[in-house]
Amino acid sequence: MTESDRDAEALIAIRKTNAMLRQNGMSWSDVIDLPLLAFFPLWIAAELMAIFHPNTYWNKNGKRVIVAGWSLCWLGLLSWLGAGTWLLFAIGT
């Protein structure tokens, strides 16, 4: 609703979101401040490249890169799940 073409509708959505954040003792920075998660899609792309093209000129340590990449991938997935769970419980209560 915040992207509505109707200004009043967008303003109401933003105000309701602000009220919901205040009600839960949060601010916009609590919701948006997840800088590591912003790079997750690029991280996955790099790991997939290491898997599908392990012996290219930029990846001479194919097997080690794959192990490290997938370890970081799982760490990234766990951080997404943790952040999502935290948001669900923080906003849902």
- SS3 for 28-63 is HHHHHCCHHHHCHHHHHHHHHHHHHCCCCCCCCCHH
Return the pLDDT at 5.
81
Quick one: 61 and 87 in the same domain? Answer: yes
- Whether residue 70 sits in one domain with residue 25: no
Give dist(CA 90, CA 84) in Å, integer. 10
44 in the same domain as 7: no
- pTM flag (> 0.85): no
Rg over CA atoms, the chain: 19
What pLDDT does residue 57 have?
64
**Same structural domain, 1 and 24:** yes
Q: Which two tokens stand for residue 30?
A: 């609590």
The domain in which residue 19 lies consists of 1-32
| pLDDT, tens digit only, all 93 positions of the chain | 767 788 888 888 889 988 988 898 888 777 776 555 666 677 777 777 777 776 666 656 666 767 777 787 788 888 888 888 888 888 765
Q: Please give the helix or strand (H or E) that residue 67 lies within, else none.
A: helix 62-92
| Pair (80, 45) in one structural domain | yes
DSSP 2: T
Question: Does 24 lie in the same domain as 38?
Answer: no
Q: How many domains does the chain have?
A: 2
